[in-house]
Amino acid sequence: MADYYEVLGVSREASDAEIKKAYRKMSRKYHPDIAGPEFEDKFKEVNSAYEVLSDPDKRRMYDAGVDPSDPNAQAGAAGFDMGGLFGQFFGSGFDSSSQGPIPRAQPGRDALAEVSIDLKTAVFGGMAHAQIHTFGLCQTCSGSGAEDGSQPVTCPECKGRGYVQKVARTLLGQMMTTAPCERCEGHGTIIEHPCPQCQGHGRVRVRRDVGVTIPAGIQDGSRLRLGSQGEVGEGGGAAGDLYIDVNIRPDKLYTRDGDDLHCWISVPMTWAVLGHTAGLETFDGPREVEVPAGCQPGETITVKGLGVTKMGSQERGDILVHVLVVIPDKLNERESELIERFADSHDSGEQELSQSSKPILGGGRKGLFSKLKDMFS
C-alpha cells in the first residue's frame, strides 16, 4: 500500500489545509502538461493520495491500514456484503447488483498551463495563448472506443453486472463479498474490436492552442479558470476544466505597485533648476510632464489616471515619475566661471549644512552651486 502522506510530503498529523496546500504544490510540479508526459504516473499517484486524504472517511480507513482506492480492500473493509446477505435470507431488494456496472464515459481531470504576458496587457487586458498537451476526444471513434461503429458486447464473466461475488473467510465464518469484474474492469461490457487510434479509450493525446482572455488589472501569479477546456475523460467523457497561471514579464520602463506604475527619468541640472517640459513614454502613447523649477533629486511627479486599470472598473491608477538630476562631470572654462559666479551670488552667507537622521525637504538645495564650485575649483 502506497504511503499517501509521503507522496504529498506531509506528516500523518497534517491538517486539511496543509494537505490541500501540499496537493496543489505537487499537482503543479508533476502535471504532465508542465512537467512532461513521463510524469503522468506520478501525477496520478498525487491525485490518488489527495482523493483519500482529503476525505475524512477514507482517511480514517487508510489510517486503519486499508487503502480505499483498492476496490477489493473496500469490500474487505466492509466485512461482508449486507445486501447479498439480506437477499439470500429474505429475497429482498438489498442485493448489491442495484449499484450497476461502471459507466465507460468518465469525467476528465482538470488541466494546468501557464501564459506569460507583458505589463501593457496587464494594464488594459487582452488575449494570450497557451499551448497545452492533454487528452482530447478521439475523432476516429467519436469517443466510443469501438472500431467502425461496432458496439460493446456483454461480459461473459459477470453477465453485464460489472461485478462478481466471492466467498471470503472471516471470524464470523464464510461471507459473500463483491468486487469489480476483472475481465471487463467493472463496465459490464467488453469492446471486442477497439478503435486502433485510441485503443478503446475514446481519447487520444493532443496538443492544442487555447486562447485566454486576460482581464484588465490582473495581478502577477493569478490563476484563471476555463470551464470544460481541460482533459477529456475515458470513454469520451466530459472534459475537466483548464486552469491558467498568469505570469507578467518585467517591463523595461515601468515597475508596478498595485494599480500604480513607477518610472525614473534623468534630467539635466539646468532643467531641475529652471524647470522644463520632459517627454514621457506611456502605455497610452507619448505624454509630457512638467519638471518644476527647483526640482530636487528624487522628487516625484504624479501623472493621474495613466496607471493600471483597477479590476472590475474603468478607473486607473497613476504614474509616479521619479526625477534623477544629472550633474555634469566636466565643465569648460566658461561654464566653470558661470557656476562660480552663480555660487558666489546664490550661496553668499551660507551656513554650515544641517545633519539629520531623516530627509529634510529642500535640504541641500541652497548649497548646490557651492558644491559644484568646490568640485571644479
pLDDT in tens, 51-106: 889 888 888 878 777 777 665 554 444 444 444 444 444 333 334 444 679 999 99
Q: What CATH topology corresponds to 255-376? A: HSP40/DNAj peptide-binding domain (2.60.260)
Question: Has residue 353 got a pLDDT over 60?
Answer: no
Say what the pLDDT of residue 71 is.
55
- Using a cut of 0.85, tell me whether the model's pTM lies above it: no
Say what the pLDDT of residue 301 is.
97
Say what the pLDDT of residue 239 is.
94
Helix ranges (DSSP H) in 32-154: 32-35, 40-53, 56-63, 71-78, 82-90, 119-124
Determine whether the annotation assigns residue 295 to a binding site: no
pLDDT tier for residue 236 given thresholds of 50, 70 and 90: very high
For 41, half-sphere exposure in the C-beta direction (CA atoms, 13 angstrom radius) is 1
Average pLDDT over residues 344-369: 52
CB of 328 closer than 8 Å to CB of 376: no
CATH 2.60.260.20 domain locations along the chain: 255-376
Determine whether the annotation assigns residue 263 to a binding site: no
Residues in the chain: 377
Q: How high does pLDDT run on average in the chain?
A: 83
283-340 pLDDT, tens per residue?
999 999 999 999 999 999 999 999 999 998 999 999 999 999 998 888 898 988 888 8
Determine whether the annotation assigns residue 184 to a binding site: yes
CATH 1.10.287.110 domain locations along the chain: 1-69
Determine whether the annotation assigns residue 181 to a binding site: yes
Regarding predicted confidence, which is higher, 358 or 243? 243
Neighbours of 206 (CB within 10 A): 14
C-alpha cell at 79: 466485512
Say what the pLDDT of residue 139 is.
94
| Residues 198, 265: Cα–Cα separation, whole Å | 60
For 209, half-sphere exposure in the C-beta direction (CA atoms, 13 angstrom radius) is 3
Say what the pLDDT of residue 77 is.
45
CATH numeric code, 1-69: 1.10.287.110
* Diameter over CA atoms, the chain: 117
